[in-house]
Amino acid sequence: MLSQRCKNCTHYTAFYKQWSGNFSRLDNGYCSRQNIIKKQNEVCDSFMSNEHKEQIREKKRLELLERALTAIVEISQILKEKENQD
């Protein structure tokens, strides 16, 4: 479960503090899934890795490409029917 700590989750945004021009990462951060402040080493049920998030994005991209392909085929069919009418 070491990899499922908040600091490795895509929902977690770390807090930083500026020290004379440099930034240091603090032990606390914000969980956008649960809308609470959490420690970076906590473990929760809503953990989502970057790989899982990328898989979801890839699936959405494929769905959009399928819709676009369907639209192109429909437009092609309409243009062919108009050409045959003339």
2-51 pLDDT, tens per residue? 567 877 888 888 889 988 889 888 888 998 888 888 888 888 777 777 77
Q: Are residues 62 and 37 in the same domain?
A: no
Same domain, 77 and 40: no
Q: Whole domain around residue 39: which residue ranges? A: 1-48
35 and 61 assigned to the same domain: no
Same domain, 30 and 71: no
What is the pLDDT, as a whole number, of residue 3? Answer: 67
Q: Is 22 helix (H, G, I), strand (E, B) or coil?
A: strand
What pTM did the predictor assign?
Answer: 0.52
Q: What is the tally of structural domains in the chain? A: 2
Asked if residue 3 and residue 35 are part of one domain, the reply reads yes
Same domain, 10 and 36: yes
Cα 52 to Cα 33: distance, rounded to the nearest angstrom: 15
Q: Are residues 37 and 3 in the same domain?
A: yes
